[in-house]
Amino acid sequence: MRIEYDRSTCIGMFQCVVEWDAFERDETAGKAVLVDGELREDDERGVFVREVPDDAELDAKFAARSCPVDAITVYDDDGTQLVP
Ligand code: SF4
């Protein structure tokens, strides 16, 4: 499973932080931080991606569901979008 986090869309509501500890608060920027997220190459919007460990799949889905502006997207291994 893979997660993508669109930092430019994030409005800093921090619900994702409650759902999965791979999301942390950047209070200064008013944005979430995806721990171990890598900036997608050639992406000017600032989309960070990382793999989701098997034991964190539920948390990752909840984080994506909790985001009020759909800044977080979860895909399964064959690229099918799962959430939102
Ligand atoms: S829930 Fe969405 S808007 Fe809120 S901090 Fe997380 S990514 Fe940003």
- For the chain, the domain total comes to 1
Give the pTM: 0.95
Which residues in the chain show pLDDT less than 50? none
Q: Is 69 in the pocket of ligand 1 (CB under 6 A)?
A: yes
Per-residue model confidence as pLDDT tens digits over 42-57: 777 799 999 999 999 9
Q: Is 15 in the pocket of ligand 1 (CB under 6 A)?
A: yes
Cα–Cα distance measured from residue 49 to residue 36, given in angstroms and rounded to the nearest whole number: 8
For residue 21, give its domain range. Answer: 2-83
Whichever domain contains 13, its CATH number is: 3.30.70.20
CA–CA distance from 80 to each of 4, 18, 21, 30 (Å)? Answer: 13, 25, 24, 30
Relative to the CA of 72, which ligand 1 atom is closest? 7
Average pLDDT value for the chain: 96
